[in-house]
Amino acid sequence: MSRIIVCLKQAVDVTQLKVDQKTGRLITAEAPRKISDFDKNALEEAIKLKEVLGGEVITVTVTAEEAKSTVREALAMGADRAVIIKDSKIAGIDTLTTALLLARTIKKLGEFDLILCGEASIDSFSGQVASRLAEILDIPQLTSAGKLSLEKGEVIVERALEDRYETVKAKTPALVSVTRGINEPRIPSLMAIMKAAKKEIAEWTIQDLGFPPEKLDASNMTVEILDVSAPKTERKRVVIKGENAEEIAENLVKALIQEGVVGR
């Protein structure tokens, strides 16, 4: 029997973002929300472990917004129950505070074997929460896992690093952050979706956690985001023309030689 906690972020669907043409700023409010991609891999891995070992998979989400329908998808995939920590002030919190909230929530849930996280979120892409969380809970952390196995109080992962793979072992309870390559998240069946409607989603407030509300104040954050804008693309956008393919090719080569990017 295993007890696995999966940290799920409700992220902005980055493929459906729009830019305010006047200011160059990103409009995130209207973009759809979804489970952050890497976290979905973490969830899939947790469900696969449960299918072999038995036990329970609980998802934990810290959010400023309504997240029930997002979390419902995790339940349809196979999580047993979900906890959402919701507070409007969570919108402006830093990774340290996110990790503190997750740690509090996980402690309240009791004992566990593994915490699974994505190695980063698709929207803010900071990649810090997993490491900070393990640090706060003072448990082993195995990051960037491309393969994972769990048995007899031991977790073994193959970490997918820049130029190498490292097989690393730790005692449970431990935290593992996963890469997108670790698995292909399942698409829930209609039956699973219907079953998920009956599963429990608990919404807790920060008071339920005994978390001091002033710790969510902007003045207590360790970093502040000053601006989020579309990067300027300073490209020449020269259209190469010609009578036929041969001439186009010729003109392109001339342009590239002039740029100094081809030739000796």
Least distance (Å) from another protein to the CB of residue 193?
A: 25
CA 247 – CA 249 distance, rounded (Å): 5
| Of 8, 62, 96, 216, the one binding another protein by CB under 8 A | 96
- Shortest distance in whole angstroms from residue 6 CB to another protein: 19
Applying CB under 8 A, the site for another protein has a residue count of: 81
Q: H or E stretch including 73?
A: helix 68-77
**Within 193-222, which residues bind another protein (CB under 8 A)?**
219, 221-222
Interacting positions 50-89 with another protein (CB under 8 A)? none
Cβ–Cβ < 8 Å for 53, 170: no
Distance CA 238, CA 246 (A): 18
What whole-number distance in Å separates Cα of residue 32 and Cα of residue 55?
33
Which part of the chain contacts another protein (CB under 8 A), choosing from 43-51, 64-72, 139-147, 191-199? 139-147
User: How far is Cα 194 from Cα 157, in angstroms, rounded to an integer?
Assistant: 34
Cβ closest to another protein, residue 48 vs residue 215: 215
> Which of 74, 79, 114, 83 lies closest to 101, judged by CA?
83
Stretch that binds another protein, among 59-67, 104-112, 192-200, 232-240 (CB under 8 A): 232-240
Choose one: 2-10, 39-47, 66-74, 90-98; the region binding another protein (CB under 8 A): 90-98
